[in-house]
């Protein structure tokens, strides 16, 4: 890495709220005993406040080692680490870790503690009283999209993988640390759940503006979540450090080009969000409403299906007019296979979801899972063609 001055990214210039602090690594090195080459060799890296920086690179290149030196789960052999203006290289690790949230695969929850107790761990260590800890726990469960009344007193084994991961994120945020370290946090969940968790993280980060360092082996995930990406090679050598757009447009070395090519499907599909393309407006009906009226409204609008919403405006099914015509009231049946993506999902996510459901479109939801519209496969294709045309001249 030659220059160390980073241009502000789009996210930063858009005036996003920042509650994070910058992280500065200078000559950071780790030699494990008995190994001839350092796992992390003299790394300089500057991570701007309030940004999400993704670490990618081959297995064993030193990503986890570097990450764990930031919160000193691993002691560096050499170099200095700064948080904000402070040199924390020799700071007491326990104190340091209260300012740095840490999320690992499968949430890393304590199995014998309830969800609430897991989340309240750090606040209690900080000496918060019961009431303040309880209030904070509720707030955090809300933030990660879990109903506190339902989940607070459950044990981790009673939750799905995706829910455990949400609790892991809530726990890491409990004491409102300026920095969040995440080591392949979504690596163990299925693709649909992973996509939802990614969308949630984007939403939370938009709200909080933490400094996030996120290790992944999935280049598409790096492009989707990162304000910037660091591509590492063996010894945590920084091969390229730039925005996703810049790395995709001009990979620094053949090595990066291979890596990008292997992971990223169609580049444009990963760079473009569902919110960036036009959605189809649809006819909606509410559970328990008059089916005949809904069918008539859809016919008048030239639609051949209706999106059924629950009382909170969340889509539950999308029956065809033929299906709905057989009913008098709009059914409350929840279609478990209804393909749904969020506005922050990428077009790649949307296409995956359509393929998995064997459907020619997806339902799109926005805030609080309320309906935003429908995205048809034709719109995705049109977006690809547009970007091809732009690229061609
Ligand atoms: N505790 C350890 N003792 C000795 N070697 C280790 C230890 N942890 C990791 N390593 C070695 O350090 C290198 C970097 O590992 P790691 O940081 O886990 O890479 P990554 O997260 O990129 O897969 C690897 O060669 C690994 O075998
Ligand atoms: Mg690792």
Mean pLDDT of the chain: 90
Question: Which one of the ligands is nearest to 63 CA?
Answer: 1
Note the pLDDT of residue 249: 81
Task: List all residues 6 or more positions away from 190 whose beta carbon is below 8 Å from its beta carbon.
Answer: 161
Is ligand 1 within 6 A of the CB of residue 194?
Answer: no
Closest CA to 106 of 182, 179, 176: 182
pLDDT tens digit at each of 393 positions of the chain: 444 456 666 555 566 788 899 999 999 999 999 999 999 999 999 999 999 999 999 899 999 999 999 999 999 999 999 999 999 999 999 889 889 999 998 778 999 999 999 999 889 888 899 999 999 999 999 888 899 999 999 999 999 999 999 999 999 999 899 999 999 999 888 888 888 889 989 989 998 999 999 999 888 899 999 999 999 999 999 999 999 988 888 888 887 887 776 544 467 778 889 998 889 999 999 999 999 999 999 999 999 999 999 999 999 999 999 999 999 999 999 998 899 999 999 998 898 888 888 888 999 999 888 999 999 988 888 887 777 677 666
Note the pLDDT of residue 2: 41
Kindly tell me the burial class for residue 246, based on how many C-beta atoms sit within 10 Å of its own C-beta (0-12, 13-18, 19 or more). middle
**Closest ligand 1 atom, CA of 236?**
22
Please tell me the distance between residue 73's alpha carbon and the centre of ligand 1 in angstroms.
13
Beta strands of the chain (E only): which ranges?
Answer: 23-30, 40-47, 52-56, 78-83, 86-87, 100-104, 179-183, 211-215, 228-233, 237-242, 283-286, 306-309, 315-317, 340-342, 361-365, 371-376
Q: How far apart are CA 94 and CA 169, in angstroms?
A: 19
Closest CA to 222 of 249, 250, 244: 244
How does DSSP assign 122-173, residue by residue? HHHHTT--HHHHHHHHHHHHHHTT--HHHHTT--GGGS-HHHHHHHHHHHHH
Q: Is beta strand 52-56 parallel, antiparallel or unpaired with respect to 211-215?
A: parallel
Q: How far apart are CA 221 and CA 239, in angstroms?
A: 19
Q: Using CA of residue 185, residue 188, residue 193, residue 195, what is the dihedral sign?
A: positive
Note the pLDDT of residue 1: 42
Q: How far apart are CA 381 and CA 36, in angstroms?
A: 51
Is ligand 1 within 6 A of the CB of residue 234?
Answer: no
Q: How far apart are CA 298 and CA 283, in angstroms?
A: 5
Q: Which two three-digit tokens encode residue 128?
A: 């918060």
CA dihedral angle for residue 30, residue 32, residue 38, residue 43, rounded to 10 degrees: -10
**Closest ligand 1 atom, CA of 183?**
21
Please tell me the distance between residue 189's alpha carbon and the centre of ligand 1 in angstroms.
23
Residue 235 half-sphere exposure toward CB, CA atoms < 13 A: 12
Task: List all residues 6 or more positions away from 186 whose beta carbon is below 8 Å from its beta carbon.
Answer: 165, 193, 194, 197, 198, 216, 221
Identify the residue whose C-alpha is closest to ligand 1 atom 26. 60
Residue pair 122/98 in contact by the 8 Å Cβ criterion: yes
Please tell me the distance between residue 213's alpha carbon and the centre of ligand 1 in angstroms.
18
Report pLDDT digits (tens) over 266-278: 677 788 899 988 8
Report pLDDT digits (tens) over 21-48: 999 999 999 999 999 999 999 999 999 9
Report pLDDT digits (tens) over 349-358: 898 888 888 8
Is ligand 1 within 6 A of the CB of residue 75?
Answer: no
Is ligand 1 within 6 A of the CB of residue 62?
Answer: yes
Q: Which two three-digit tokens encode residue 287?
A: 């559970």
Is ligand 1 within 6 A of the CB of residue 64?
Answer: yes
């Amino acid at each position: 890495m030659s220059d160390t001055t980073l241009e502000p990214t789009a996210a930063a210039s858009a005036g996003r709220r920042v509650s994070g602090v910058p992280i500065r690594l200078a000559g950071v090195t780790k030699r494990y005993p008995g190994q001839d080459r350092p796992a992390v060799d003299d790394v300089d890296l500057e991570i701007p406040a309030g940004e999400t920086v993704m670490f990618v690179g081959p297995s064993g290149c030193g990503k986890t080692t570097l990450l764990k030196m930031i919160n000193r789960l691993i002691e560096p052999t050499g170099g200095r680490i700064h948080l904000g203006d402070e040199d924390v290289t020799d700071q007491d690790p326990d104190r340091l870790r209260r300012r740095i949230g840490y999320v690992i695969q499968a949430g890393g929850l304590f199995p014998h503690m309830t969800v609430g107790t897991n989340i309240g761990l750090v606040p209690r260590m900080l000496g918060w009283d019961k009431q303040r800890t309880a209030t904070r726990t509720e707030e955090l469960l809300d933030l990660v999209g879990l109903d506190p009344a339902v989940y607070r007193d459950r044990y981790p084994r009673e939750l799905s993988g995706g829910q455990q991961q949400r609790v892991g994120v809530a726990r890491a945020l409990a004491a409102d640390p300026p920095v969040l370290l995440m080591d392949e946090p979504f690596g163990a969940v299925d693709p649909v759940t992973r996509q939802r968790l990614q969308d949630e993280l984007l939403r939370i980060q938009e709200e909080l503006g933490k400094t996030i360092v996120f290790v992944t082996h999935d280049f598409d995930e790096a492009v989707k979540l990162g304000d910037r990406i660091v591509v590492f090679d063996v010894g945590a050598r920084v091969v390229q450090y730039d925005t996703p757009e810049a790395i995709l447009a001009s990979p620094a070395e053949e090595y990066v080009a291979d890596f990008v090519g292997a992971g990223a499907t169609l580049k444009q599909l990963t760079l473009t969000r569902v919110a960036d393309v036009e959605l189809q407006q649809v006819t909606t009906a509410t559970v328990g409403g008059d089916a005949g009226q809904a069918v008539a409204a859809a016919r008048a609008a030239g639609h051949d299906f209706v999106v059924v919403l629950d009382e909170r405006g969340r889509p539950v099914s999308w029956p065809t007019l033929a299906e709905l015509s057989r009913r008098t009231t709009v059914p409350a049946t929840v279609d478990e296979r209804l393909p749904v993506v969020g506005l922050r999902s990428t077009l790649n996510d949307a296409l995956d979801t359509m393929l998995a459901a064997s459907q020619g479109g997806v339902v799109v939801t926005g805030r609080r899972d309320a309906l935003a519209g429908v995205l048809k496969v034709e719109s995705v294709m049109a977006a690809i063609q547009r970007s091809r045309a732009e690229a061609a001249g």
